Amino acid sequence: MKITVVGTGYVGLVSGACLADVGNDVLCLDVDAAKIRVLEEGGIPIHEPGLLEIVRRNVAAGRLSFTTDIQRAVAHGTVQFIAVGTPPDEDGSADLQYVLAAARNIGRHMDGYRVVVDKSTVPVGTGDKVKAAIADELSKRGVELPFSVVSNPEFLKEGAAVDDFMRPDRIVVGAEDERAIESMRQLYAPFQRNHDKLVFMDVRSAELTKYAANAMLATRISFMNELANLAETLGADIELVRQGIGSDLRIGWHFLYAGCGYGGSCFPKDVKALIKTADEYGHELKVLGAVEDANEAQKHVLIDKIVARFGENLSGRRFALWGLAFKPNTDDMREAPSRVIIAELFKRGATVVAYDPVAMDETRRIFGDEARLSYVDRPMKALEEADALVIVTEWKEFRSPDFERIRSVLRQPVLFDGRNMYDPAVMRESGLEYYGIGRR
């Protein structure tokens, strides 16, 4: 099939590369010439494990190409994926200007039947707006051409997006005419040879499904974080509680880890957008309001522990920070807890020495030439002359460090574990003063 993907961010580039990898002819469009130049020169503008190899392989095979030419992109694909950003407005609602601009461009240039697929995370009712925008542009041209609008939300985890696309556990499709449904069946046939993973529904239900999934996962995280804070007060251990409830098949193991809050490009934005959507229709989502409040508070938990240990005035203190990205296997710093922690340490007069395997360049872009923040190329180097180690992101390389060396290098043997990576008993045996989240 000939496919056009509008947008070369996480969703667009992963989708385009994976669709090309199963034999489709894919053209990716982006109005950002710098991004397209990086792609044409053999690089990728994001960090995502395994993606660079797939992009290069399919470019070399002639199945994947890139352009800034809108007319060429609309002419190319019978299926047109819209995978552009939907950043939050000041009121928390999703900004649809890029989605609707893409829809209007399709209406201006299409010359035959098109299946227009909303891949971006969009509020309920966006499909109707996309349909209206395309119809309006066709009307201006004085032409009548058939088209279908489909909702096909993505369920890709940053850091595992390629595997999620190639081996999905479900493929949600909101479509309301047989021609579009058949096109989507053909498109996704290579990804479900083992069994049928397609879940068809109406467009509005598909749009809500994406928000509901992310809101549920965010709720589980905030729930466990609140229980962790209670566990500390009660003298219980949240890790043992996690094992106790996770073994219940009705609950399961996923997203039950307590920590210092969630971040990234999806959960914070989508929770806000769903709350805003409900508000527009006269509904108050009380649970999600609490989820959002709990998460913002949780980003300050490590700071509270640091202040309790060292005092409010941290002038002259130096803290080693392991992990900057909001989660492992990505350089994404959007809504990352590390940003709050660094800012709060600065506010109290401290300096920070940071290490992250891939996110330090992005952190430099965010904090600029901040003299109080420095970077090192090895985790252990960050500990030199530091009063404590603060772990914010659970990268694999942090799982089994040399605890004896940590104790000997730090100015004081204090470790704040924002992801509960270590066993408190092992920390005590290693001579480390250990502060986890909800641990005894």
Quote the CA–CA distance of 122 and 115 in Å, as a whole number.
17
Catalytic residue among 18, 28, 260, 266: 266
Picking from 252, 186, 217, 424, the residue whose alpha carbon sits closest to that of residue 327 is 217
Using alpha carbons only, what angle is made at residue 99 by residues 128 and 93, rounded to the nearest 5 degrees? 80
How buried is 328 (Cβ within 10 angstroms: 0-12 exposed, 13-18 middle, 19+ buried)? Answer: buried
Structural Rg of the chain based on CA atoms = 24
For residue 266, indicate whether it is catalytic.
Answer: yes
**Tens digits of pLDDT across the chain (440 residues):** 999 999 999 999 999 999 999 999 999 999 999 999 999 999 999 999 999 999 999 999 999 999 999 999 999 999 999 999 998 887 788 899 999 999 999 999 999 999 999 999 999 999 999 999 999 999 999 999 999 999 999 999 999 999 999 999 999 999 999 999 999 999 999 998 888 999 999 999 999 999 999 999 999 999 999 999 999 999 999 999 999 999 999 999 999 999 999 999 899 999 999 999 999 999 999 999 999 999 999 999 999 999 999 999 999 999 999 999 999 999 999 999 999 999 999 999 999 999 999 999 999 999 999 999 999 999 999 999 999 999 999 999 999 999 999 999 999 999 999 999 999 999 999 999 999 999 98
pTM for the full model?
Answer: 0.92
